[in-house]
Amino acid sequence: MRFILIFLLSIKLTLALTLEQAIDFAVRNNTSVRLSLLDLQKAEENIRKARAGILPQVSFSYSYTRLGGDLAFGFTPKNRHSYILEVDQTVFNRAVLEGLSLAKEQKELQSLIYEDTKREVEFQTKQLFYALLYKKEVVKLLEENLRYWEENYRQTEGKFQAGVVPKVELMRAKAQLENARAQLENATADYRKSLEDFKAFLRFEGEPEPEGKLQMQPLNGEDHKKLLENNSTLKVARKSLEVAQRA
C-alpha cells in the first residue's frame, strides 16, 4: 500500500493547455504585470488625494455644560448642549485643479502602461506556445521517420540473410536507422527543454501539454491599419510625452 502511494505521488499530472489558457496563466502570474497593476492603483489613489483638495472640509464639535443650582436662575436651563458645524469650501485654487488634472493624466498613462505590459506578456506567451507546437510536430514527424527506417532495416536485414543484398547495404540501412534515432532524441530533448522554459515562464504547476494548430492567418491592409491605431506601445509613448509636457 505504501509503495502504491509513493508511486502515485511521483506521477506528474499532465494537463492539456490551449493558447487562451496559457495567456491567462501568464498574465495572472507575471511579476511585471502585477507591479504595473500596483502602479495603476497608486495612480488612482493620487486622484482621490488630489480631489480631497477641492472637496468641502467639514468639521463638527459638541460641548455639554451643567450649571449648578447657585448659577442657574429664572428660566436658565441647568443643562446646556452646544453643537458647531463648520463647512469650509475653497472657491478656486489653480494649483489644486492643475494637480488633479495632472493626476488624471498620469492615471491614464499608467493604465496604458498596464495594458502594454499585458500585451507584451501575451506576445511572449504566443511565441513560446507556437514554438512548442512546432517542435511537437517535428517530434511526431521524426517518430514516423524512425518507424520507416526501422522497417527498412528489418527488410534489408532479411534480404542480407537471404543473400539478396550485400553487407554494405545492411550497414547503410543500419547507419540510416541510427541517424533517425539520433535526430528523434535531439528533437525530443529540445522539445522537453522548451517545455520546461515555458512552465517556468507561466509558473505552471504540473506538466502542460500544448494543444492547438499551426496555421498562418494572412494580414490585410485594414488589419495592419488597426494594429497601428491600437498599438499600446505607441499609445504609451504619446501619453508619456503629453504628461512630460504638462509636468
Q: pLDDT class for 207, splitting at 50, 70, 90? A: confident
- What are the residues whose beta carbons fall under 8 Å from the beta carbon of 82, sequence distance 6 or more? 62, 63, 64, 65
Q: Give mean pLDDT, residues 124-131.
A: 94
CA–CA gap between residue 178 and residue 146 (Å, rounded): 9
Q: What are phi and psi of 219, to 5 degrees?
A: -110, 115
Residue 224 or residue 40, greater confidence: 40
Instruction: Quote the pLDDT of residue 169.
Output: 95
Structural domains in the chain?
15-54+95-246 (1.20.1600.10), 60-89 (no CATH)
pLDDT over 50 at 9, yes or no: no
The grid coordinates of residue 160 equal 542480407
Place of cell 502585477: 34
**What is the pLDDT of the chain when averaged over all its residues?**
79
User: Which amino acid, residue 72?
Assistant: A
136: DSSP letter: H
| Whether pTM exceeds 0.95 | no
**Rounded-to-integer distance, Cα 175 and Cα 69, Å:** 120
Residue 5: is its pLDDT beyond 50? no
User: What percent of the chain lies above the pLDDT cut of 90?
Assistant: 45
Stretch (H or E) spanning 68:
none
* Residue 136: all three cell numbers together: 511537437
- The highest-confidence range among 58-72, 175-189, 197-211, by mean pLDDT, is 175-189
> Max alpha carbon distance in the chain (Å)?
141
